[in-house]
Amino acid sequence: MRVISGSAKGRALKGVPGMGTRPTTDKVKEAIFSMIGPYFEGGMALDLFAGTGGLGIEALSRGMDRAIFIDMEPKSIEVIRANLKSTGLAEKAEVYRNDAVRAIKALEKRSVSFDLVFLDPPYRLKHGDELMQLMDERGLLNPQAIVVLEYESSYEYPESFGHFVCQRKAIYGETAVSIYVYDAENTSLQSHEEESHT
């Protein structure tokens, strides 16, 4: 694993010891960033099941201003910190050990909001859409924020729900990636249109 492009291009990333994490492969990572970037002019990123931190680090390398990394596993937290240090991006990052739901509630209290979110929960958990709805309810998403949801390709998430619309979906073997855009005005826009036609 390495940083593919940007300021930290080519830097190697440590993996998490053991088989508990399933890092996004370089091939899938490259595909994700060609869909959502490939480069950014600032903004705030959240890597919620960060594992090695590879996705958030790639986003920082490609121009995001800051990123927050969350993971439950102490070994992952150690590896994320080491990878941030080796890529020279530690000053742009915050790393916390927490579960996803508690982390979302904690971030709400800080009034933080994000332009880009990476959601790569363990494949046994099929609650990516619930976490996205929770982020919406808690005000964590900026208008037109992008959410990258990675999951098992045998599973299907809805094309759209709440204020989220899937713009791209790609499958790489057993991994699927859906790119959602957050449109806070989505439901109210439809009702305004209906009103204007009456």
> What per-residue confidence (pLDDT) applies to 187?
55
Domain membership of residue 57 (yes or no) is yes
Q: Which residues of 18-42 are buried (b: 16+ CB within 10 A; e: fewer)?
A: eeebebbeeebbebbbebbbeebee
Domain membership of residue 163 (yes or no) is yes
Domain membership of residue 11 (yes or no) is no
Domain membership of residue 19 (yes or no) is no
> What per-residue confidence (pLDDT) applies to 191?
33
Closest CA to 144 of 177, 185, 178: 185
Total structural domains within the chain: 1
Write the CATH number for 157: 3.40.50.150
Q: What are the tokens at 183?
A: 């449109």
Residue 47 confidence (pLDDT) above 50:
yes
* CB proximity list for 139: less than 8 A, separation 6 or greater: 108, 111, 113
Tell me which residue range forms the domain holding 106.
26-197
Classify residue 91 as exposed, middle or buried by CB count within 10 Å of its CB (0-12, 13-18, 19+): exposed
Closest CA to 138 of 96, 187, 100: 100
Arithmetic mean of pLDDT, 12-41:
89
> What per-residue confidence (pLDDT) applies to 186?
67
Domain membership of residue 21 (yes or no) is no
Residue 188 confidence (pLDDT) above 80:
no
Q: What are the tokens at 138?
A: 């808690």
Domain membership of residue 190 (yes or no) is yes
> What per-residue confidence (pLDDT) applies to 18?
80
pLDDT tens profile 96-134: 999 999 999 999 999 999 999 999 999 889 999 999 999
> What per-residue confidence (pLDDT) applies to 127?
94
pLDDT tens profile 150-163: 999 999 999 999 99
Domain membership of residue 3 (yes or no) is no
